[in-house]
Chains A and B, each alone.
Chain A
Amino acid sequence: MNSSHLLLRSFLTASVLTAWVLPLRAQVEVSASALPTVGVALSGALGGGATEIISTDLRRTGEIEPVGGASGQYYATGVATESGITGQLVNKRTGEVVFNQTFDGHGRLAAHQFSDAITKAVTGLPGFATSRIAFIGGQGRVKELYLADIDGYNVREITHDNTVSASPALSHDGAKIAYASYKSGYLDVYLVDLGTGSRTRISYYPGINSGPSFSPDNSSLALTLSKDGNPEIYTIALNGGIENRITRTRGGETSPSWSPTGDRLVYSSDDHGTPQLFISSSTGVSEMDQLYTGNSYCTKPDWSPDGKTIAFTARVGGQFQVGLFDLATRLGHLVTADGGQDPAWTRDSRHLVYSKHGRLYLLDTVTHKSLPIALSVTADCGEPAVSR
């Protein structure tokens, strides 16, 4: 190896290291005053509660500054009752009525619907106030599947199986949950229809069946099966029939996540010794494109809805942290410093739900601030999934 090659090599190493250890992205500092301001004031029987929910939702986006009364650049008003909200958003500079709409969600949902409509109208970005999280809660050999609103309200225990439920995924329309369970004694994949409450065991090949992920059109699941030997990635139809085998290695592959266009999958493979991230076609065994994140142990990737970033779990100095891999620059960096794992993107491709020491958190990947999600579940919680 000649000296210029060596120089280039050390330069590249230094760049990668710099990118890796910088705790904040350079461009992140956006002062609060630069954010669009929205005044919120609802009347009606539930007006006070709805005003508070909407203000909290808007602040959580990181893109909007909610303000009191009519002092904002936008003004959100309406009537909140048991049957929903009739809401209006006015652009105060132009006097234009941006929308005048009825939100008929049950309970808190109507306020969240209003919040997402405001977020979309003011920033052009999808809000995630109406999103729900599926997660696993429990200890030892009893871990049940739960569903809750992303703000921690409306917790529902979906399984009561007295066994271990694992690795939930929410369909993109929010209508179904796929997850793995030891209910039969073996690790099999089940599909829950949240509308009807029905549950079907769909994948129970010999070996493990685990880690399902819905394709963007909700017609397929990518998952890990070990039916041919060690754990490999496959895609199956919702009735369990194999569609495609994706990997064929001597290592183990886990945690597939679809690209938003559905043509590719990112997953973890330890075929090279330690778990690393790879991207492959979603239609058959193909070349594995390794993502060099700068870290030797990377698991549980999640592809952002805008297609640009892979979130993952990294093991750094014996600790687990949430990392991001930018597909344009092909560089990785960490977004947590005090621990975190199993990140799942929200709709805006800016926030992540992740777990740390049995609790769930919502992280803003721009400001790197994270807030605990208050859940009325006393057991340890983990493996969060977010509806898109």
Chain B
Amino acid sequence: MKMPRRLALLSVLTLALAACSDDKNNPNYGGMGADGSGLPSNQTDQIGGNNADISGIPPTRPANGASPDSADYGTLASDTVYFGFDKAIVNAEERGKLEAVSEWFKANPGHALFLAGHADKRGTPEYNRALGERRAEAVREYLVGLGLSATVLYTTSYGSDPPAVDGDTEEAYAKNRRVEIGVVMQQ
């Protein structure tokens, strides 16, 4: 049986991680700010090897608190990445778009990207928010694989709202399962 072995591995991993991270004392976390208070200031040292986790690459928010709503989603609109139903894997036919994004990024220094995940309207909204996040993370990991730095790739998820296309057809749903790529200036 494979299960006990996997669990044993997990336990080892748990202990190793417990030893190197204590979230209650995490200096990156701003704690109990009142409504509207500043974002946690500096996330950058959460990235990289020591905190490696099977969950993937830890996300970041821009240090200046820029909102994902403020990004320009028009410049790279033709590179919006589409996904299968309930899937968070970048399909082979979508990968060319990310290569194009990578080329654009290298040709336009000084920018950062927001990767905004969306889901179609079907199902429970909470699951769709997590699904959108996983789609954004899949795009982020793919772009990191193409040589971009994770520190300039910010993820967010909007779940089912708003759809790119209204309607209850399979065609509309397919257009709404997406990651839009927004451009902001790097600080």
Contacts and interface: CB of A to CB of B under 8 A. Distances in A.
A285 B18 CA distance: 11
Interface stretch (A61-69, A74-82, A242-250): A242-250
B26 to A, nearest CB: 8
Contact of A208 (B7, B14, B157): B157
A299 B159 CA distance: 15
Interface stretch (B50-58, B76-84, B100-108): B50-58
A23 interface: no
B55 A167 contact: no
B156 interface: yes
Contacts of B109: none
A210 interface: yes
Contact of A187 (B13, B34, B37, B129): B129
Contacts of A253: 130
A4 B58 CA distance: 49
Contact of B55 (A230, A254, A284): A230
A250 B134 CA distance: 10
Interface residues of A, number: 61
Contacts of A224: 126, 130
Interface in A250-281: 250, 252-255, 268, 270, 274-275
Contacts of A205: 29, 40
A92 interface: no
Contacts of A156: none
A313 B162 contact: no
Given A184-B67, A230-B137, A240 B125 contact: no
Question: Which of A166, A207, A300, A382 has the most chain B CB atoms closer than 10 A to its own CB?
Answer: A207
Contacts of B32: 200, 202, 239-241
Interface string B1-40: 0000001001001100000000110100111111111011
A239 B137 CA distance: 27
B69 A250 contact: no
Contacts of B23: 241-242
> What 5 pairs across the A-B complex have the smallest Cβ distances?
A185-B67, A229-B55, A229-B56, A242-B23, A207-B59
